[in-house]
Amino acid sequence: GAVVSQHPSRVICKSGTSVKIECRSLDFQATTMFWYRQFPKQSLMLMATSNEGSKATYEQGVEKDKFLINHASLTLSTLTVTSAHPEDSSFYICSAPRGGANEQFFGPGTRLTVL
């Protein structure tokens, strides 16, 4: 089956620093990837759609200058949390669709803790 990886799985950083999270489709190409944010005991909130070769599409209320997305290749999308603050602490999950029925394959998630 399709595999999506994320790196790192866990990161702790100081307030004010930037953190980059990678999402890779390991055995298929993905022109589109999605980034979600999940707070404890809550659902996934779609942050943005990452598009290979073009700008990301951000959901309403998501700061594009805060959460920089770059879809560098057909197998890699990166999310950079700039000038991180404690309120950015969350579980970030990426996904990539494959197949004709919009099925999403999810990465294992990245736990970000900002001190």
Q: What is the spatial distance between Cα 90 and Cα 1, in angstroms, rounded to a whole number?
A: 28
Q: Element (H or E) spanning 33, and its range? A: strand 32-38
**Does residue 51 interact with another protein by CB under 8 A?**
no
Q: Are 61 and 41 in contact (CB under 8 A)?
A: no
Q: What is the spatial distance between Cα 89 and Cα 12, in angstroms, rounded to a whole number?
A: 9
Q: Which is nearer to another protein, 7 or 82 (CB)?
A: 7
Q: Are 56 and 64 in contact (CB under 8 A)?
A: yes
Phi, psi of 88 (to 5 degrees): -85, -10
Q: Which is nearer to another protein, 62 or 82 (CB)?
A: 62
Site string for another protein, 75-114 (x = CB under 8 A): ----------------x-x-x-x--xxxxxxxxxx-x---
Q: Which is nearer to another protein, 82 or 113 (CB)?
A: 113
Q: Which is nearer to another protein, 84 or 109 (CB)?
A: 109
Which residues sit at the interface with another protein, rule CB under 8 A? 4, 6, 32, 34, 41-44, 46, 49, 91, 93, 95, 97, 100-109, 111
